[in-house]
Structure 1
Amino acid sequence: MDWQKLYWETDNWVNHLTFYEDELQFLQKLLDRYFEDLVQYQNLDEIREEVMRFQDLKYTCSKLLANTREHRHQLALAINEKDTEHGFTRQTHLGLQEKLQDFTLGFNTTKKEIQYITKELVESLKQ
């Protein structure tokens, strides 16, 4: 198993997740800024549903980032110790990769929805 290749791939995932975390913070500020107006101009059930999805996404990002950092740490130990039996397998790596792909899809969908509802609101407030 090429531990270094897996390490660099995992390091790249950490960078992506850190970027997503920053994006989520920005979207949170956007929601905080316009929440009261959104509730007045949009369907409350839709807004509540989107906010719940967003909160779940933030939690998932945080958990996935922590797990990916831990995986990267384990890979670093395996590289440093020249350990081929370090208690985790390629399957662990593939599982994280799948979770990252699922998260990215959910992130993109939720981001588009938040941008859509806030864009409509900002345009209506301008008029």
Structure 2
Amino acid sequence: MMNDMRLRPKSDYLKTANWEQLYVLCEHWRDDMGFYLDELKFFQKLINKYFLWLAKDENVAKAEAIFVDVKKGTLEAKWLEGAICEHMRHISDLMKNAFSRDAQEFRQDHAVLEDKMVEFTKLFRKLKAEVFAVTEYIMETEDLPARMPYKERS
């Protein structure tokens, strides 16, 4: 289970943190998701722009497979970003009215969301490594500059 790998400073943080501290933690998660989404967008552009020139069927298959994985990762990141924003709204409600939602239930939801962040972070790192590995392999096995249009500099 992901429970051993938490993104909080100390093990009892979730039980003792006040709403403002949890909100700040969620802001960090949201910022991280923005970074991940930017990286995933870059990977999609890389694949769309440069892998278009591939000639070897094996490399085309690798590029298509990694593109599907990047799209799945993007969908997961967008979902998670939305869940984080919704979670932040709940924290805001709790700061305004501490009785608007059961605090223990909210903290359990927070732990679940945190586990999903950990899972996504692992997925993202693995995906990034795969994109780099496929890109490196393709650069070594394809003669891309010969097929790509040359833009003369002025």
TM range (shorter): 0.7 to 0.9
- Structure 1 unaligned regions, length at least 5: none
Q: 1:116 Cα shift?
A: 1.8
- Structure 2 unaligned regions, length at least 5: 1-15, 147-154
1:98 match: 115
Q: 1:43 Cα shift?
A: 4.2
Q: 1:7 to 1:20 in 2, by over 3 A?
A: same
1:36 match: 52
Secondary structure of the corresponding residue to residue 42 of structure 1 = helix
- Give the total of aligned pairs: 126
Q: 1:35 Cα shift?
A: 2.3
Q: Which structure has more helix as a fraction of its residues? A: 1
Separation of aligned partners in 2, 1:61 and 1:18: 9
Q: 1:42 Cα shift?
A: 3.5
Following superposition of structure 1 onto structure 2, how do residues 5-24 of structure 1 map, counting pairs within 5 Å? 5-24=21-40
Give me the TM-score of the superposition, normalised by structure 1.
0.85
Q: Percent identity?
A: 26
Separation of aligned partners in 2, 1:102 and 1:77: 27
Separation of aligned partners in 2, 1:22 and 1:113: 17
Name the structure, 1 or 2, with higher relative contact order (CA <8 Å, separation 6+).
1
**C-alpha RMSD over aligned residues:** 2.2
Secondary structure of the corresponding residue to residue 86 of structure 1 = coil
2:59–2:138 CA contact under 8 A, matched in 1: no
2:112 maps to amino acid:
G
Q: 1:37 Cα shift?
A: 3.1
Q: 1:39 Cα shift?
A: 6.0
Separation of aligned partners in 1, 2:133 and 2:53: 14
Q: 1:48 Cα shift?
A: 2.9
1:86 match: 101
> Are residues 1:120 and 2:120 paired?
no
Q: 1:84 Cα shift?
A: 4.1
> Are residues 1:69 and 2:85 paired?
yes
Separation of aligned partners in 2, 1:98 and 1:23: 21
Could you give the per-residue CA deviations for residues 53-85 of structure 1, whole angstroms, max 9, x where no partner exists?
A: 11110000000000101101110121122x145
* Structure number with larger C-alpha Rg: 2
Give me the TM-score of the superposition, normalised by structure 2.
0.71
